[in-house]
Structure 1
């Protein structure tokens, strides 16, 4: 790599920084050999970086797993460990090799006007109720509660939609889950969803429990309910992160300064364990943080196993009772 000598200038002018920051970020990533995958005219991604997206229209990038982002200067800092000064020098020194970002104003304006919009509603809730209650074993009372609060509905593709609101009750996010039981069933988010505002049940005390998916949150509530322990968590805040990134957690803590305790209910797998360790490390200085023990991969797997065990226990008891009745009848006949 070639750098300008330290004696070239003691500091950068505003024009120099702007010139460096106007390096075409997509072209920069390609030229430096990053594992770039082009998605469409607006977006690209750098693979193997925990979900690093490149916004080609705004000439910006964002890494979901690291919750970090910026422009070309910050990309060199993030990807290659440059200092800010080194990154600016590199971009100025190489400006003849990299294309300059030149936004097309009408396209950018159209892109920036794209607003979040909830998926169209279906005229029924039967597929959502069947999927959540029968397949996922969520308690019917809990499903009804979230439907009544406009946190869950069925879209025109017969999928579950889990809605997230900001602190002013404005809809900002929607997680979508197909009601199909196929292994490749659709899971995703509505276009332009803001991941800072996840699917949540707001509480009134100082405890926040976080999960990855909305169904985990509903399963957690159901487990307490079917064991008669729902009073223990009735005032707790519950939040789905929509994955393992802590962006929604940061926003929720900002909006709810009363919270002092964070309970982590992320999945019991590689990604969930890693994210849990990172959250414990980052937040323990300001909050009481604890990891919840999960029997299985996640709360829904735990719930289904628990329900099936209860059913099996009842079946065994019924068989034992029937056997006892049959034995008593046989004794009467012998007498």
Structure 2
């Protein structure tokens, strides 16, 4: 098991369980000085101690880590990664070592049942997140994006092809209701791959979030297939970069992590790690424009204010103006 700094563990331990439960899609119900869950009424959360008890189980007092292990189908490291990525954002970067799946015991990746329509997914991705219609439809047609039947979440899926058979290796869920933010990896996902799109380019563009990778694609206009894309779904999952470093066809890597303290710190660490393993690779850093946290925040701001969207170019922090292709999701 990877070593995790005790100082980070203490920070994560204090994240309110009721907030984590809500972000995971559970309906939190206030009961006096405590909280419970609509879906599991035997659960009682004590916000003062930040502990919970599940009376239908052993009735013992448990932590936020235990909650993710029990209700999120994660192991301890998976719980640490989830909390760090979503609440703390400290760059605890591994040295590109392979990591286990998000279960202590390996399990098969089973994708959620597919809905017969994409209404919620399309509305969220195109109208709320202002992604290009062409990008969303292209990925949906190829099975990289779909809407799940039960909860209407967006399911992002990465595949690998072996002996002519395409198999899913990683999947991530994203809620479509902004009032109840929800995202998580599907149990059995391979963190040595994460979410990637392989367009047989010699250049790999790396982002933290899947939405950011799709935002970069949307900014590229007709050139949306000119790069490969890797979304780490959290800055701690850097082992997924290994796969691309082992590919001799990769000559360039663009790091497009978030423009915040954690993203900037992680960028410098990843640059050094790439240099140690493949010093022949050209590494560039291209961030969103100053004043924004990530590429999607920049994209949404510009699209909804009719500000021209710009095309990202390599070898320069400058951008080339691109005709705005997002008229369908503009708001005034």
The residue that corresponds to 1:250 in the other structure is 242
The residue that corresponds to 2:171 in the other structure is 174
Counterpart CA distance in 2 for 1:171 and 1:48 is 24
Contact kept, 8 Å, 1:163 with 1:198, in 2: the verdict is no
Structure 1 residue 187 and structure 2 residue 178: aligned? no
**Residue 264 and residue 311 in structure 1: after superposition, are their counterparts in 2 closer, same or farther (change >3 A)?**
closer
1:131 to 88, 111, 124: 124
**Residue 186 and residue 152 in structure 1: after superposition, are their counterparts in 2 closer, same or farther (change >3 A)?**
same
Counterpart CA distance in 2 for 1:49 and 1:162 is 19
The residue that corresponds to 1:94 in the other structure is none
1:164 to 158, 163, 166: 158
Query: Residue deviations 1:115-168, cap 9 Å, x none?
Result: 111112122110000000100001111111000111000012111110012353
Moved more, 37-46 or 118-127: 37-46
Counterpart CA distance in 2 for 1:247 and 1:309 is 38
**Residue 69 and residue 267 in structure 1: after superposition, are their counterparts in 2 closer, same or farther (change >3 A)?**
closer
Contact kept, 8 Å, 1:216 with 1:300, in 2: the verdict is yes
**Residue 310 and residue 117 in structure 1: after superposition, are their counterparts in 2 closer, same or farther (change >3 A)?**
same
TM-score of the superposed pair, with normalisation by structure 2: 0.60
2:218 to 219, 222, 227: 222
Contact kept, 8 Å, 2:204 with 2:229, in 1: the verdict is yes
Counterpart CA distance in 2 for 1:113 and 1:307 is 43
Structure ranking higher in strand proportion: 2
Shift of 1:266: 0.7
Counterpart CA distance in 2 for 1:280 and 1:257 is 18
Unaligned runs of 5+ in 1: 1-24, 53-62, 71-109, 314-335
Root-mean-square deviation over aligned CA pairs = 3.4
The residue that corresponds to 2:57 in the other structure is none
* Count of aligned residue pairs for this structure pair: 227
TM-score of the superposed pair, with normalisation by structure 1: 0.60
Q: Secondary structure at the match of 1:170?
A: strand
Contact kept, 8 Å, 1:206 with 1:260, in 2: the verdict is yes
The residue that corresponds to 2:93 in the other structure is 65
Counterpart CA distance in 2 for 1:126 and 1:288 is 41
Shift of 1:214: 1.2
Counterpart CA distance in 2 for 1:48 and 1:114 is 19
Structure 1 residue 291 and structure 2 residue 285: aligned? yes
Shift of 1:47: 9.4
Shift of 1:44: 3.7
Give the greater-gyration-radius structure (CA): 1
Query: Residue deviations 1:157-181, cap 9 Å, x none?
Result: 1111100123533211101110011
**Residue 253 and residue 124 in structure 1: after superposition, are their counterparts in 2 closer, same or farther (change >3 A)?**
same
Structure 1 residue 153 and structure 2 residue 150: aligned? no
Q: Secondary structure at the match of 1:165?
A: strand
Shift of 1:112: 4.2
Shift of 1:298: 0.7
Structure 1 residue 282 and structure 2 residue 273: aligned? yes
Q: Equivalences for 1:6-45 in 2 at 5 Å?
A: 39=66, 40=69, 43-44=75-76
Contact kept, 8 Å, 2:97 with 2:239, in 1: the verdict is no
Q: Secondary structure at the match of 1:166?
A: strand
Contact kept, 8 Å, 1:45 with 1:51, in 2: the verdict is no
Counterpart CA distance in 2 for 1:164 and 1:46 is 19
